[in-house]
Amino acid sequence: MAIDLLLAVLGGLGGLPRERLDAKQWSTVQGQVRSRKYAIRSSGEAVRIGELAAQTGLSRDAIRFYEKVGLVMGRRLPNGYRDFPRETVPWLQYVRTAQALGFSLAEIARTGEELRGAADSAGALSALFEEKIGVIDARVSELVALRAELAARVGTGCPLRAAG
């Protein structure tokens, strides 16, 4: 796209190749390409990783990691930059919220697919939360039992022997 844009701008200057432009003309071309590129980018097509990081509060490294594990999909541009669909912003905000609620990345990936296919996402989310509450309750029970076991061993001659 940038090459097409550059060719269009050059076409406006009589289609002159770079070598045939003087410094002022080349500066004009560069400015026009930058301004048109910015206009295209701000129209909602895609966001670069830095913009995505700023809008979501995530680091670029976190976004790259999410891309590596398949939570987000970006496209690599010829210049090495990554572009992400604009819809990635709310998805990453969902990922952050789900992590804060105790969901693992694997659970988030699985539930994200389920939610996208659900007709009633509020109902589907409630079911996922109830499932997660069950997992948390089971873990709390395990931790209470572990605490009781540790408390029973405190003050014994050898804490690693079975309490008796």
pLDDT of residue 7 exceeding 90? no
- Higher-pLDDT residue of 92, 34: 92
- Higher-pLDDT residue of 42, 44: 44
Which residues are within 8 A (CB) of 21 and not within 5 positions of it... i.e. 6 or more apart? Answer: 13, 29
Mean pLDDT, rounded, for 65-87: 90
pLDDT of residue 16 exceeding 50? no
* pLDDT bracket for residue 25 (50, 70, 90): low
pLDDT of residue 30 exceeding 60? no
pLDDT of residue 17 exceeding 80? no
Ranges of each domain in the chain: 1-43, 46-117, 122-164
Give exposure, 98-135, as e/b (b: 16+ Cβ within 10 Å): beeeebeeebbeebbeeeeeeeeeeebeeebeeebeee
CATH topology of domain 46-117: Multidrug-efflux Transporter Regulator; Chain: A; Domain 2 (1.10.1660)
Question: Can you give 123-151 as a three-state secondary structure string?
Answer: HHHHHHHHHHHHHHHHHHHHHHHHHHHHH
Question: Can you give 57-115 as a three-state secondary structure string?
Answer: CCCHHHHHHHHHCCCCCCEECCCCCEEEECCHHHHHHHHHHHHHCCCCHHHHHHHHHHH
* pLDDT bracket for residue 44 (50, 70, 90): low
Q: Which amino acid is at 4?
A: D
Q: Which amino acid is at 16?
A: L
pLDDT in tens, 90-148: 999 989 999 999 999 998 888 887 777 677 778 888 888 999 999 999 999 999 999 99
Q: What percentage of the chain has pLDDT greater than the value 90? A: 40
* Spatial CA neighbour of 95 closest among 69, 130, 118: 69
pLDDT of residue 159 exceeding 80? no
Its pTM stands at: 0.59
- Higher-pLDDT residue of 25, 78: 78
Would you state the pLDDT for residue 138? 97
pLDDT of residue 26 exceeding 70? no
Task: Give the integer Cα–Cα distance in Å for 72 and 68.
Answer: 8
